[in-house]
Amino acid sequence: MNDLFYLAAPVVENLFLEDVTAWLDLYGVRYIHKVKFTGATGYDHVFDFAIPKSRKKPERILRTINRPIRDTAESFVWAWVDTKEVRSSDSLAYAILNDTEKTLSEDVSEALKSYGITPVPWSRRENYKEELAA
């Protein structure tokens, strides 16, 4: 049974990424898909989307998190903190959190916020469409 979970997990994660991609496309959000930045440590970090700076908004970095739990939040926090040091000082980070099958823990949202990452629960994504499309 555990082997089946490990085989199915990437498929489900890819489906969520596809949903997020379709949603960004629907609202005309211009983005670069699967970007890799080298952090201050020299480690490479891959993010699902980078939205280039516009006249209205700074660069925005997005990562989709299919299973928003402590481990996945910590992973994104580490990547963002390491990367932020070598990006433009006004760059912003967003975590697109899949809350469709499981209630989002307030601890995860608060942990992300404490490092300047905006948590975007998938169920409330419409509240962020203008901010991301700007």
pTM of the model: 0.88
Q: How many CB atoms lie within 10 A of CB 75?
A: 13
Q: How many CB atoms lie within 10 A of CB 117?
A: 23
Residues 102, 81: Cα–Cα separation, whole Å? 27
Residues 36, 51: Cα–Cα separation, whole Å? 13
Domains and CATH numbers, the chain: 2-133 (3.40.1350.10)
Query: pLDDT per residue over 20-73, tens digit each?
Result: 999 999 999 999 999 999 999 999 999 999 999 999 999 999 999 999 999 999
Residues 32, 42: Cα–Cα separation, whole Å? 22
What single letter denotes the amino acid at residue 49? F
- Average pLDDT of the residues in 84-89: 92
Torsion angle (degrees, nearest 10) of CA 64, 58, 114, 47: 30
Q: Is the pLDDT of residue 10 over 90?
A: no
